[in-house]
Amino acid sequence: MTNENRQSGKNAYGKRNSKKRYLTYRKAANRKSLQPQKAKESVRIAFLGGMNEIGKNMTLYEYGGDMFIVDCGLAFPDSDLPGVDLVIPDFTYVENNADKIKGIIVTHGHEDHIGGLAYLLKRVNIPIYATKLTIGLIKGKLEEHNLLKSAKLVEIKPRDNITLGNFNIELIHVNHSIPDAVGLAIRCPAGVIIQTGDFKIDTTPVDGDMIDLPRFAEYGKKGVLALLSDSTNAERPGYTMSEKSVGESFEMLFRKAKGKRIVVATFASNIHRVQQIIDVAKSRGRKVAVIGRSLENLVSVGSELGYLNVPEGVLIDINLIRNYPDDKLVIITTGSQGEPMSALTKMAFGEHRKVNLTPNDYVIISATPIPGNEKMVGNVVNELMKRGVDVIYERMYDVHVSGHACQEELKLMMGLVKPKYFLPVHGEQKHLQRHASLAVAMGINEKNIYIGNIGDRIELSDDGIKFINTVTAGAVYVDGIGVGDVGSIVLNDRKHLSKDGIIIVVATIDSASGNVVSGPDIVSRGFVYVKENEALMNSARDLACRVIDESYDSKYHDWNSVKTKLRDELSKMMYDKTKRSPMILPILMEI
């Protein structure tokens, strides 16, 4: 080895001494390990609605003491909720963190995304960010509740960026069954989260504005921490048909209905569908009348904001339909889901004050029944047919297409976004599970997929996805003007009454002697027809009299024990004789 190489620390081959280099690297590594490691950043998500259910969508994001909400919707009650008008999310967690919440971003104007806003703003006044049409529909909701003047509404548009504390959110245009729908790119120090909102990929949309797939792809190239994606149609293979195909079907059906009056029932929020009906009606020389408060509001707001083009002279008041022959009329109505109080249902049963259907009517139900509504829709169709009406419904023709992505579109979204973690949202358990299996097929590790429940609060970071705890969340029932005052006890009573009826026992007792002065009278509602069951009622009266005599103590006046004994004895007797369990309500008065 030369002196030159020895002095320079190189070996005989002119290369630096590997042992010396190793020692240098090891010392540097030891110094680095002694330095404090920076904690991994994480973002937290709380699911307040829209999981394991259709509707009531609401998601809360939190990072570094800042929070914001995506959507605040409602759900409509099913047959298990007698008397309930609406179902909204439980806002307890939002109220408890009101000082941290910077705003609400609404993805689009459907009821399952905006319907709960008025009820939330009555508790916490938070700024609302939404696109033009969505703001217009929200204003109508808030005006009904006298909240419009106090609400802070901020109009935004696709590609806009909103800063809410530690979050910066970009809106990305998507196709849906209502204009101005957006997905969200949520940026914070933990990474980028994409929430699609309700979407489909329509290459020929009615408004000509295709989903902004390039923007989703740009985020995919840069790196996306997590994707929260609409699961509504995760069970359906292929692609969702374009809304334009419905317009072509309307053209054909309107020609087929020659000489008849046409009635079209559709979702009140589907402004594209309404536009196509108006366009075809105009081309066929027909006037258009609209029935249904929500539909009338949509036409008013859509026309005012420029989302609905109604040629002059085409739209007429429903009160003027008698002035036109049947072959010159189209009526657009609500009731495509067979709702009991809807206009179409009233028409079918001959109860509508302004429209009387005859065999010269041609009814098109431009919607597919929501799961659970099939029987109601079927009842309406049957009643319409009894009246001799021609009815086009469900899949007889292409008179309805979904606003939600099918499997191939869902996979395309995953392929573009390339998320590290995947969270299926907006659907029942079967939809979420099916969507998760699509993600696995797309190469996403099962460990990186999380199927949540309402109330779940999770944490996301590069290190992983994990469940933290459960927050207060669930369903609050709206009944008339009452919000939250109908709970499980009230609902159980309603179910009990609807199933077995009620028996009321009324008696007046002398407080001094304990003798029955008046009664006991037995009143029955929804249990048996009294006139045909006098013997049963007399037996009940005798039993009540005996129980009162045996149980009443004039000294201690223990009303509760007397009432409890009455309920128990009468319930046993009624079940023994009728195998029914009516609600027993004792009313005892003391004089």
- Residues designated catalytic: 230, 404
Residue of 95, 94, 75 lying closest to 86 (CA atoms): 75
Please tell me the distance from the alpha carbon of residue 149 to that of residue 143, in angstroms, as a whole number: 8
Pair of tokens at residue 482:
């009452």
Tokens 């009324």, residue located: 506
Give CA angle at 28 (23, 32), nearest 5°.
Answer: 145
Q: How many CA atoms lie within 13 A of 202 on its CB side?
A: 29
Contact assessment for residue 48 and residue 473, using Cβ atoms and an 8 Å cutoff: yes
Rg (CA), the chain: 32
DSSP element (H, E) containing 70: strand 66-70
Cis before 520? omega within 30: yes
- Positive or negative, the CA dihedral 251, 253, 258, 260 is negative
Count CB atoms within 10 A of the CB of residue 24: 12
User: Cα–Cα distance between 137 and 96 in angstroms, integer?
Assistant: 28
* H/E run at residue 249: helix 244-256
> DSSP H helical segments within 421-485, as ranges?
429-441
Sequence-distant (≥ 6) Cβ neighbours of residue 566 within 8 angstroms: 505, 544, 547, 548, 551, 584, 586
8 A C-beta contact, residue 112 and residue 136:
no
Whole-number Å distance between alpha carbons of 66 and 162: 14
Separation in Å, CA 552 to CA 520, 566, 586: 14, 11, 14
Residue 489 token pair: 């006890």
Q: Are strands 101-105 and 66-70 parallel, antiparallel or unpaired?
A: parallel
Q: How many helices, marked H, and strands, marked E, lie in the chain? A: 17, 26
Beta strands at 224-230 and 191-195: parallel, antiparallel or unpaired? parallel
| Tokens matching residue 96 | 């408890």
